[in-house]
Amino acid sequence: MNLLGTWIAAGLTVAILSFLYRDNPFYKFAEHLFVGVSAGYWVIYIWAFDVKPMLIDEFLRQAGVEKWLLIIPAVFGVMMLMRWVPRTAWISRWPISFTVGIAAGLALTAQVQGYIIPQIQATLLPLVSIGKTTSETIARSFNNIMIFVGVVCALLFFYFSREHKGALKVGSKVGIIFLMIGFGASFGYTVMARISLLIGRLTFLLQVFGLR
Amino acid sequence: MKREVPIIITFLTGFLCVIAFFIPHPPLGDLQQRFLVWYAIVYGFTMVLGLDSLLKYNVKKITQRKEGWQYSYVLLFGLALVLVTGFQSWLKYGTPFELRSSFMYCYIHIIVPLQATMFALLAFFISSAAYRAFRARTFEATLLLVAAAIVMLGRVPIGKMIWSEIPVVSDWLLNIPQLAAKRGIQIGVYLGGVVMSLRIILGIERTYLT
Protein backbone atom coordinates (compact mmCIF):
# COMPACT_ATOMS: atom_id res chain seq x y z
CA MET A 1 0.00 0.00 0.00
CA ASN A 2 2.87 2.35 0.87
CA LEU A 3 4.63 1.42 -2.35
CA LEU A 4 1.53 2.39 -4.32
CA GLY A 5 1.31 5.66 -2.40
CA THR A 6 4.95 6.44 -3.13
CA TRP A 7 4.42 5.84 -6.85
CA ILE A 8 1.29 8.01 -6.85
CA ALA A 9 3.30 10.78 -5.16
CA ALA A 10 6.16 10.35 -7.66
CA GLY A 11 3.76 10.40 -10.63
CA LEU A 12 2.03 13.55 -9.39
CA THR A 13 5.39 15.23 -8.71
CA VAL A 14 6.56 14.51 -12.28
CA ALA A 15 3.18 15.66 -13.65
CA ILE A 16 3.51 19.04 -11.92
CA LEU A 17 7.16 19.45 -12.92
CA SER A 18 6.22 18.68 -16.55
CA PHE A 19 4.84 22.23 -16.70
CA LEU A 20 8.44 23.41 -17.00
CA TYR A 21 8.38 22.03 -20.55
CA ARG A 22 4.97 23.56 -21.35
CA ASP A 23 1.32 23.40 -20.35
CA ASN A 24 0.18 19.80 -20.95
CA PRO A 25 -2.62 17.36 -20.00
CA PHE A 26 -0.53 15.72 -17.23
CA TYR A 27 -0.03 19.06 -15.51
CA LYS A 28 -3.69 19.98 -15.92
CA PHE A 29 -4.69 16.62 -14.44
CA ALA A 30 -2.47 17.14 -11.38
CA GLU A 31 -3.52 20.79 -11.04
CA HIS A 32 -7.25 19.98 -11.01
CA LEU A 33 -6.69 17.06 -8.67
CA PHE A 34 -4.82 19.42 -6.33
CA VAL A 35 -7.73 21.87 -6.24
CA GLY A 36 -10.23 19.09 -5.58
CA VAL A 37 -8.31 17.32 -2.82
CA SER A 38 -7.31 20.61 -1.14
CA ALA A 39 -10.94 21.79 -1.02
CA GLY A 40 -12.04 18.46 0.45
CA TYR A 41 -9.18 18.48 2.95
CA TRP A 42 -10.06 21.96 4.26
CA VAL A 43 -13.74 21.10 4.60
CA ILE A 44 -12.85 18.06 6.72
CA TYR A 45 -10.22 20.05 8.66
CA ILE A 46 -12.57 22.93 9.53
CA TRP A 47 -15.39 20.63 10.53
CA ALA A 48 -13.09 18.36 12.57
CA PHE A 49 -11.34 21.20 14.44
CA ASP A 50 -13.94 23.98 14.47
CA VAL A 51 -17.56 23.03 13.96
CA LYS A 52 -17.66 19.61 15.63
CA PRO A 53 -15.67 20.38 18.82
CA MET A 54 -16.89 23.97 19.20
CA LEU A 55 -20.55 23.52 18.27
CA ILE A 56 -21.74 19.91 18.26
CA ASP A 57 -19.58 18.49 21.08
CA GLU A 58 -20.00 21.61 23.22
CA PHE A 59 -23.76 21.60 22.70
CA LEU A 60 -23.93 17.99 23.90
CA ARG A 61 -21.54 18.63 26.82
CA GLN A 62 -22.84 21.95 28.16
CA ALA A 63 -25.97 22.59 30.19
CA GLY A 64 -28.14 25.61 30.93
CA VAL A 65 -27.49 29.01 29.36
CA GLU A 66 -24.09 28.02 27.95
CA LYS A 67 -25.77 25.27 25.93
CA TRP A 68 -28.47 27.50 24.45
CA LEU A 69 -26.07 30.35 23.69
CA LEU A 70 -24.53 28.05 21.08
CA ILE A 71 -27.74 28.33 19.11
CA ILE A 72 -26.68 31.88 18.12
CA PRO A 73 -23.61 30.92 16.01
CA ALA A 74 -25.52 27.90 14.63
CA VAL A 75 -28.35 30.18 13.47
CA PHE A 76 -25.81 32.62 12.00
CA GLY A 77 -24.20 29.67 10.20
CA VAL A 78 -27.54 28.57 8.74
CA MET A 79 -28.27 32.21 7.77
CA MET A 80 -25.04 32.15 5.78
CA LEU A 81 -26.47 29.28 3.73
CA MET A 82 -29.47 31.46 2.80
CA ARG A 83 -27.34 32.68 -0.10
CA TRP A 84 -28.46 29.56 -1.92
CA VAL A 85 -31.95 31.01 -2.36
CA PRO A 86 -31.86 34.35 -4.24
CA ARG A 87 -34.96 35.70 -2.46
CA THR A 88 -33.44 35.15 1.00
CA ALA A 89 -29.83 35.88 0.08
CA TRP A 90 -29.93 39.23 1.91
CA ILE A 91 -30.22 37.38 5.26
CA SER A 92 -26.60 36.21 4.85
CA ARG A 93 -25.57 39.82 5.51
CA TRP A 94 -26.37 39.30 9.18
CA PRO A 95 -23.68 36.67 9.87
CA ILE A 96 -21.30 38.59 7.59
CA SER A 97 -21.91 41.70 9.72
CA PHE A 98 -21.31 39.65 12.83
CA THR A 99 -17.92 38.37 11.59
CA VAL A 100 -16.94 41.83 10.33
CA GLY A 101 -17.90 43.30 13.72
CA ILE A 102 -15.72 40.76 15.57
CA ALA A 103 -12.77 41.41 13.25
CA ALA A 104 -13.19 45.18 13.68
CA GLY A 105 -13.52 44.95 17.46
CA LEU A 106 -10.43 42.77 17.75
CA ALA A 107 -8.45 45.01 15.40
CA LEU A 108 -9.20 47.99 17.62
CA THR A 109 -8.07 46.30 20.81
CA ALA A 110 -6.11 43.07 20.49
CA GLN A 111 -4.26 44.24 17.37
CA VAL A 112 -3.13 47.43 19.06
CA GLN A 113 -2.03 45.54 22.16
CA GLY A 114 -0.57 42.53 20.36
CA TYR A 115 1.04 44.06 17.29
CA ILE A 116 1.33 47.83 17.18
CA ILE A 117 2.57 48.49 20.72
CA PRO A 118 5.13 45.60 20.76
CA GLN A 119 6.44 46.69 17.34
CA ILE A 120 6.88 50.27 18.55
CA GLN A 121 8.45 49.06 21.80
CA ALA A 122 10.93 46.92 19.85
CA THR A 123 11.86 49.97 17.76
CA LEU A 124 12.47 52.36 20.64
CA LEU A 125 15.94 50.99 21.35
CA PRO A 126 18.86 52.77 23.05
CA LEU A 127 20.80 54.46 20.26
CA VAL A 128 24.00 54.04 22.25
CA SER A 129 24.19 50.50 23.55
CA ILE A 130 27.27 49.66 25.63
CA GLY A 131 28.75 46.22 24.98
CA LYS A 132 31.67 44.30 26.54
CA THR A 133 34.11 45.55 23.93
CA THR A 134 34.34 48.72 21.85
CA SER A 135 33.55 46.85 18.63
CA GLU A 136 30.49 45.28 20.27
CA THR A 137 29.33 48.72 21.45
CA ILE A 138 29.74 50.15 17.93
CA ALA A 139 27.97 47.18 16.32
CA ARG A 140 25.04 47.18 18.74
CA SER A 141 24.59 50.94 18.59
CA PHE A 142 24.84 50.93 14.79
CA ASN A 143 22.22 48.18 14.50
CA ASN A 144 19.85 49.96 16.88
CA ILE A 145 20.23 53.23 14.95
CA MET A 146 19.62 51.38 11.69
CA ILE A 147 16.40 49.81 13.03
CA PHE A 148 15.11 53.10 14.44
CA VAL A 149 15.96 55.16 11.35
CA GLY A 150 14.71 52.39 9.03
CA VAL A 151 11.29 52.10 10.70
CA VAL A 152 10.76 55.87 10.93
CA CYS A 153 11.86 56.48 7.33
CA ALA A 154 9.80 53.55 5.98
CA LEU A 155 6.76 55.07 7.70
CA LEU A 156 7.61 58.51 6.28
CA PHE A 157 7.68 57.02 2.78
CA PHE A 158 4.04 55.94 3.20
CA TYR A 159 2.97 59.29 4.60
CA PHE A 160 0.98 60.89 1.80
CA SER A 161 -0.87 63.63 3.69
CA ARG A 162 1.82 66.16 2.80
CA GLU A 163 3.91 66.66 -0.28
CA HIS A 164 7.32 65.06 -0.01
CA LYS A 165 9.50 68.16 0.19
CA GLY A 166 12.41 69.21 2.39
CA ALA A 167 13.04 66.97 5.42
CA LEU A 168 10.11 64.72 4.50
CA LYS A 169 11.66 64.13 1.07
CA VAL A 170 15.01 63.19 2.61
CA GLY A 171 13.26 60.87 5.09
CA SER A 172 11.20 59.16 2.40
CA LYS A 173 14.31 58.75 0.20
CA VAL A 174 16.09 56.98 3.06
CA GLY A 175 12.87 54.98 3.53
CA ILE A 176 13.03 53.79 -0.09
CA ILE A 177 16.59 52.57 0.48
CA PHE A 178 15.47 50.47 3.46
CA LEU A 179 12.39 49.23 1.63
CA MET A 180 14.41 48.16 -1.42
CA ILE A 181 16.97 46.31 0.70
CA GLY A 182 14.07 44.74 2.64
CA PHE A 183 12.23 43.64 -0.51
CA GLY A 184 15.45 42.28 -2.01
CA ALA A 185 16.30 40.31 1.14
CA SER A 186 12.73 38.96 1.39
CA PHE A 187 12.83 37.99 -2.27
CA GLY A 188 16.17 36.19 -1.91
CA TYR A 189 14.90 34.37 1.14
CA THR A 190 11.69 33.29 -0.62
CA VAL A 191 13.59 32.05 -3.67
CA MET A 192 15.89 29.95 -1.49
CA ALA A 193 12.89 28.51 0.39
CA ARG A 194 11.34 27.47 -2.92
CA ILE A 195 14.68 26.04 -4.11
CA SER A 196 14.95 23.95 -0.95
CA LEU A 197 11.43 22.60 -1.64
CA LEU A 198 12.53 21.77 -5.18
CA ILE A 199 15.62 19.97 -3.87
CA GLY A 200 13.32 18.02 -1.54
CA ARG A 201 11.09 16.93 -4.41
CA LEU A 202 14.03 15.99 -6.65
CA THR A 203 15.63 14.01 -3.81
CA PHE A 204 12.32 12.18 -3.35
CA LEU A 205 12.16 11.35 -7.07
CA LEU A 206 15.75 10.11 -7.10
CA GLN A 207 14.97 7.87 -4.13
CA VAL A 208 11.84 6.48 -5.79
CA PHE A 209 13.70 5.69 -9.01
CA GLY A 210 16.54 4.09 -7.01
CA LEU A 211 19.16 6.62 -8.10
CA ARG A 212 20.06 7.70 -4.61
CA MET B 1 -34.29 46.02 7.60
CA LYS B 2 -31.94 44.77 4.92
CA ARG B 3 -29.25 47.37 5.66
CA GLU B 4 -30.03 48.71 9.13
CA VAL B 5 -29.98 45.38 10.99
CA PRO B 6 -26.53 44.35 9.64
CA ILE B 7 -25.11 47.77 10.59
CA ILE B 8 -26.56 47.43 14.11
CA ILE B 9 -25.13 43.88 14.41
CA THR B 10 -21.68 45.11 13.34
CA PHE B 11 -21.83 48.03 15.77
CA LEU B 12 -22.96 45.91 18.71
CA THR B 13 -20.44 43.12 18.07
CA GLY B 14 -17.52 45.50 17.57
CA PHE B 15 -18.53 47.70 20.50
CA LEU B 16 -18.94 44.70 22.85
CA CYS B 17 -15.51 43.40 21.79
CA VAL B 18 -13.95 46.75 22.73
CA ILE B 19 -15.90 46.98 26.01
CA ALA B 20 -14.95 43.40 26.93
CA PHE B 21 -11.29 44.28 26.39
CA PHE B 22 -11.42 47.19 28.83
CA ILE B 23 -13.65 45.47 31.42
CA PRO B 24 -12.16 41.97 31.73
CA HIS B 25 -14.64 40.83 34.39
CA PRO B 26 -17.87 38.78 34.27
CA PRO B 27 -20.18 38.85 32.39
CA LEU B 28 -18.07 40.58 29.70
CA GLY B 29 -14.70 39.04 30.59
CA ASP B 30 -14.72 36.09 28.22
CA LEU B 31 -16.79 37.76 25.52
CA GLN B 32 -13.89 38.18 23.06
CA GLN B 33 -13.00 34.50 23.44
CA ARG B 34 -16.66 33.49 23.04
CA PHE B 35 -17.01 35.65 19.93
CA LEU B 36 -13.90 34.05 18.44
CA VAL B 37 -15.44 30.60 18.93
CA TRP B 38 -18.66 31.75 17.30
CA TYR B 39 -16.63 33.28 14.49
CA ALA B 40 -14.95 29.89 13.89
CA ILE B 41 -18.35 28.16 13.82
CA VAL B 42 -19.78 30.59 11.26
CA TYR B 43 -16.56 30.19 9.26
CA GLY B 44 -17.21 26.43 9.18
CA PHE B 45 -20.56 27.04 7.51
CA THR B 46 -18.94 29.27 4.87
CA MET B 47 -16.86 26.26 3.85
CA VAL B 48 -20.12 24.57 2.82
CA LEU B 49 -20.90 27.58 0.63
CA GLY B 50 -17.46 27.40 -0.95
CA LEU B 51 -17.87 23.70 -1.59
CA ASP B 52 -21.25 24.32 -3.20
CA SER B 53 -19.79 27.03 -5.44
CA LEU B 54 -16.93 24.74 -6.54
CA LEU B 55 -19.35 21.89 -7.29
CA LYS B 56 -21.78 24.10 -9.24
CA TYR B 57 -19.00 25.65 -11.33
CA ASN B 58 -17.50 22.32 -12.32
CA VAL B 59 -20.79 20.52 -12.93
CA LYS B 60 -21.83 23.43 -15.18
CA LYS B 61 -18.51 23.20 -17.00
CA ILE B 62 -19.10 19.50 -17.65
CA THR B 63 -22.73 19.84 -18.74
CA GLN B 64 -21.95 22.75 -21.07
CA ARG B 65 -18.85 20.98 -22.41
CA LYS B 66 -16.69 24.07 -21.86
CA GLU B 67 -12.99 23.98 -22.71
CA GLY B 68 -11.13 21.57 -20.42
CA TRP B 69 -14.37 20.06 -19.09
CA GLN B 70 -12.71 16.64 -18.76
CA TYR B 71 -10.46 17.99 -16.00
CA SER B 72 -13.51 18.97 -13.96
CA TYR B 73 -14.13 15.23 -13.56
CA VAL B 74 -10.64 14.94 -12.07
CA LEU B 75 -11.38 17.79 -9.66
CA LEU B 76 -14.69 16.28 -8.59
CA PHE B 77 -13.06 12.89 -8.21
CA GLY B 78 -10.35 14.37 -5.95
CA LEU B 79 -12.94 16.23 -3.89
CA ALA B 80 -15.14 13.16 -3.50
CA LEU B 81 -12.15 10.95 -2.69
CA VAL B 82 -10.99 13.15 0.19
CA LEU B 83 -14.49 13.75 1.54
CA VAL B 84 -15.37 10.03 1.45
CA THR B 85 -12.08 8.93 3.02
CA GLY B 86 -12.37 11.77 5.55
CA PHE B 87 -15.82 10.75 6.79
CA GLN B 88 -14.95 7.04 6.61
CA SER B 89 -11.84 7.61 8.74
CA TRP B 90 -13.83 9.80 11.10
CA LEU B 91 -16.34 7.03 11.67
CA LYS B 92 -13.71 4.30 11.94
CA TYR B 93 -11.13 6.00 14.19
CA GLY B 94 -13.10 8.82 15.79
CA THR B 95 -10.90 11.36 14.00
CA PRO B 96 -9.94 11.71 10.33
CA PHE B 97 -6.37 12.60 11.36
CA GLU B 98 -5.42 9.14 12.61
CA LEU B 99 -2.13 8.28 10.87
CA ARG B 100 -3.36 4.82 9.73
CA SER B 101 -6.53 6.26 8.19
CA SER B 102 -7.30 6.39 4.48
CA PHE B 103 -7.75 10.18 4.81
CA MET B 104 -4.17 10.61 6.03
CA TYR B 105 -3.03 8.24 3.28
CA CYS B 106 -4.53 10.67 0.75
CA TYR B 107 -2.97 13.58 2.59
CA ILE B 108 0.53 12.10 2.70
CA HIS B 109 0.60 10.61 -0.80
CA ILE B 110 -1.47 13.13 -2.77
CA ILE B 111 -1.83 16.51 -1.05
CA VAL B 112 1.70 16.84 0.38
CA PRO B 113 3.58 16.02 -2.86
CA LEU B 114 1.23 18.15 -4.97
CA GLN B 115 1.54 21.12 -2.64
CA ALA B 116 5.31 20.86 -2.22
CA THR B 117 5.91 20.48 -5.97
CA MET B 118 3.55 23.33 -6.81
CA PHE B 119 5.50 25.65 -4.51
CA ALA B 120 8.82 24.27 -5.77
CA LEU B 121 7.69 25.12 -9.30
CA LEU B 122 7.40 28.72 -8.22
CA ALA B 123 11.20 28.83 -7.81
CA PHE B 124 11.54 28.79 -11.60
CA PHE B 125 8.87 31.40 -12.20
CA ILE B 126 10.18 33.74 -9.49
CA SER B 127 13.68 33.41 -10.96
CA SER B 128 12.54 34.10 -14.52
CA ALA B 129 10.40 37.04 -13.34
CA ALA B 130 13.38 38.38 -11.40
CA TYR B 131 15.62 38.08 -14.45
CA ARG B 132 13.21 40.31 -16.38
CA ALA B 133 12.41 42.74 -13.56
CA PHE B 134 15.70 43.09 -11.69
CA ARG B 135 17.66 45.23 -14.08
CA ALA B 136 20.12 47.49 -12.30
CA ARG B 137 18.72 50.55 -14.06
CA THR B 138 18.41 52.77 -11.01
CA PHE B 139 20.13 53.03 -7.64
CA GLU B 140 17.08 51.56 -5.84
CA ALA B 141 16.81 48.63 -8.28
CA THR B 142 20.53 47.93 -7.79
CA LEU B 143 20.04 47.85 -4.01
CA LEU B 144 17.22 45.34 -4.42
CA LEU B 145 19.31 43.19 -6.74
CA VAL B 146 22.41 43.24 -4.53
CA ALA B 147 20.40 42.48 -1.34
CA ALA B 148 18.63 39.55 -3.04
CA ALA B 149 21.92 38.18 -4.42
CA ILE B 150 23.68 38.39 -1.04
CA VAL B 151 20.80 36.68 0.80
CA MET B 152 20.64 33.92 -1.82
CA LEU B 153 24.40 33.36 -1.72
CA GLY B 154 24.36 33.45 2.06
CA ARG B 155 21.99 30.46 2.17
CA VAL B 156 24.19 28.12 0.08
CA PRO B 157 27.73 26.73 0.61
CA ILE B 158 29.08 28.43 -2.52
CA GLY B 159 28.46 31.81 -0.87
CA LYS B 160 30.81 30.94 1.95
CA MET B 161 33.37 29.65 -0.56
CA ILE B 162 33.31 33.00 -2.41
CA TRP B 163 33.70 35.04 0.79
CA SER B 164 33.48 33.58 4.29
CA GLU B 165 31.55 36.63 5.58
CA ILE B 166 28.68 36.38 3.07
CA PRO B 167 26.40 34.34 5.44
CA VAL B 168 27.05 36.94 8.17
CA VAL B 169 26.14 39.82 5.83
CA SER B 170 23.10 37.86 4.64
CA ASP B 171 21.88 37.37 8.22
CA TRP B 172 22.53 41.03 9.00
CA LEU B 173 20.49 42.11 5.96
CA LEU B 174 17.61 39.91 7.10
CA ASN B 175 17.80 40.91 10.76
CA ILE B 176 18.40 44.65 10.54
CA PRO B 177 17.41 46.52 7.33
CA GLN B 178 14.77 43.99 6.29
CA LEU B 179 13.33 43.95 9.79
CA ALA B 180 13.19 47.75 9.86
CA ALA B 181 11.46 47.96 6.47
CA LYS B 182 9.02 45.19 7.34
CA ARG B 183 8.24 46.76 10.70
CA GLY B 184 7.59 50.14 9.08
CA ILE B 185 5.17 48.53 6.63
CA GLN B 186 3.48 46.47 9.35
CA ILE B 187 2.95 49.43 11.68
CA GLY B 188 1.43 51.35 8.76
CA VAL B 189 -0.84 48.43 7.85
CA TYR B 190 -2.00 47.90 11.44
CA LEU B 191 -2.68 51.60 11.95
CA GLY B 192 -4.70 51.55 8.73
CA GLY B 193 -6.54 48.50 10.09
CA VAL B 194 -7.40 50.35 13.30
CA VAL B 195 -8.80 53.32 11.36
CA MET B 196 -10.78 51.03 9.06
CA SER B 197 -12.16 49.09 12.07
CA LEU B 198 -13.34 52.32 13.64
CA ARG B 199 -15.06 53.31 10.40
CA ILE B 200 -16.73 49.88 10.18
CA ILE B 201 -17.97 49.90 13.79
CA LEU B 202 -19.34 53.42 13.44
CA GLY B 203 -21.13 52.47 10.22
CA ILE B 204 -19.18 54.88 8.01
CA GLU B 205 -17.64 52.05 5.98
CA ARG B 206 -20.42 49.86 4.53
CA THR B 207 -18.84 48.29 1.44
CA TYR B 208 -18.98 44.82 3.03
CA LEU B 209 -22.78 44.96 2.74
CA THR B 210 -22.82 45.26 -1.06
ipTM: 0.85
Higher-confidence residue of A3 and A104: namely A104
- pLDDT at A121 (0 to 100): 94
Determine the residue among A180, A201, A203, A208 to mutate to test chain B binding: the one whose Cβ has the most chain B Cβ atoms within 10 Å: A180
Which pLDDT score, from 0 to 100, does residue B182 have?
A: 94
For chains A and B, CB pairs below 8 A equal 399
In the prediction, which pLDDT does A163 show?
87
Going by pLDDT thresholds of 50, 70 and 90, the confidence category of residue A129 is confident
The pLDDT assigned to B193 comes to 93
Q: Are B180 and A149 an interchain contact pair (Cβ–Cβ within 8 Å)?
A: yes
A161 contacts in B (CB within 8 Å)? none
Handedness of CA A103, A104, A106, A112 (dihedral sign): positive
pLDDT at B3: 80
Residue in B150, B178, B200 nearest the CB of A182:
B178
Query: Which of A16, A46, A105 faces B118 most closely, judged by CB atoms?
Result: A16
Q: Do B177 and A178 touch (CB under 8 A)?
A: yes
Specify the pLDDT at position A1: 64
From first to last of the 210 residues of chain B, give the pLDDT tens digit.
778 899 999 999 999 999 988 888 877 778 888 999 999 999 999 999 999 999 999 999 999 999 999 999 999 999 999 999 999 999 999 899 999 999 999 999 999 999 999 988 888 888 888 777 777 778 888 899 999 999 999 998 998 999 999 999 999 999 999 999 999 999 999 999 999 999 999 999 888 887
Confidence check: pLDDT of A106 > 80: yes
- Find out whether A94 and B5 touch, Cβ atoms under 8 Å: yes
What number is the average pLDDT over the span A168-190?
93
**Quick check: A110 pLDDT over 90?**
no
User: How far is residue A175's CA from residue A165's CA, in Å, rounded to a whole number?
Assistant: 14
The domain ranges of chain B are 1-66, 67-122
Summarize the confidence of residues A170-175 as an average pLDDT.
93
Phi, psi of B44 (to 5 degrees): -60, -40
Cα–Cα dist B135/A42, whole Å: 41
CB contacts, 8 Å: A100 with chain B: 10, 200, 208
Say what the pLDDT of residue B206 is.
86
- d(Cα B207, Cα B200) in Å, to the nearest integer? 9
Q: Are B192 and A161 in contact (CB under 8 A)?
A: no
Q: What is the spatial distance between Cα B147 and Cα B166, in angstroms, rounded to a whole number?
A: 11
Tens of pLDDT, residue by residue over B20-60, are 888 888 777 788 889 999 999 999 999 999 999 999 999 99
Closest Cβ opposite residue B14 in set A5, A104, A113 = A104
Question: Measuring CA to CA, how many Å separate A51 from each of A56, B32, B43, B49?
Answer: 7, 18, 9, 14
Contact assignment for A20 to B120 by CB distance below 8 Å = no
